[in-house]
Structure 1
Amino acid sequence: MDTASLLNGVAGGVLIGASAVFLMGMMGRIAGISGIVSGMLYEPVSSERLWKGAFVLGLVLGPLMLTLVAPQWGNVAGVAEGAIGAPVASVPVMVVAGLLVGLGTGLGAGCTSGHGVCGMARLSTRSIMATLVFLACGMATVFIVRHLLGGGA
């Protein structure tokens, strides 16, 4: 890993942490993306939708703006031709993976941002356990896909 990649990761982590602290400090809300998105989609229309919509819009526009302003910072493809690189799986595989992630966030009552970033920072036992389960499932998935099924890079 080169110094620029390290600094990009540190800067990204600081920004994620700062946004989580800002949302908690200013609005008393947890920056759990799955909860924010599901609330935006399924809750009755309220003033909550405004900040949730702005938060989600920022998640989408932030990387796009970074790519426009400083393309070298947003390039995770490792090649100059692409900003994010080619997909590593087919569309059906990505759809199934997305549905499984959605199911997991529902079963786990949150996601890695809510439990891993915000919950662990609050030393929540439930969030620490959920994050350990997320990590174990991720490691098991990589092992199965790469070593048992022979896929991946």
Structure 2
Amino acid sequence: MNLSTRGFVDAGETVTVGFTVIGASQQLLIRAVGPKLADLGVSSPMADPQFTIFRTDYTQSPPAQIEVGVADDWVEENVAQLSATMAHVGAFPLEVTEFQGTSYDTVDTTSSAVTGSLGEGVYTIQVSSHDGGAGEVLIEVYTVD
């Protein structure tokens, strides 16, 4: 499974994307890509995207949003593991590299990415700019086989 959404986030605002995990827990790669979008022709990528993942708890009335995790600056995570996972699922790399015959020269240390297992449920990802700026962001959720 791959869910991808691109949008513009105004300064000080957030964008929210939802997804559902059905059945057994699933290992996922979740990314909010900003600077690397410049290599794909996006003229105003977000400089420093960050995100928070929430799970909807329907046992409460009204349903509550429970924070599951946060991500900022993918290079502060396990870079080797994240890079290998990105390659495995077919996501374009965030490092300077050549991918499918195209050179990607932007040094992107500030996009956000995490891998982890999420159980059955309804989730949202809220993306904002760490530095309060505006720009285009690509939000992606991949199932890792």
* TM tier relative to shorter chain: under 0.3
| Structure number with higher helix proportion | 1
TM-score w.r.t. the length of structure 1 is 0.18
Q: Highest CA radius of gyration, 1 or 2?
A: 1
Q: Which has the higher strand share?
A: 2
Structure with bigger RCO (C-alpha 8 Å, 6+ apart):
2
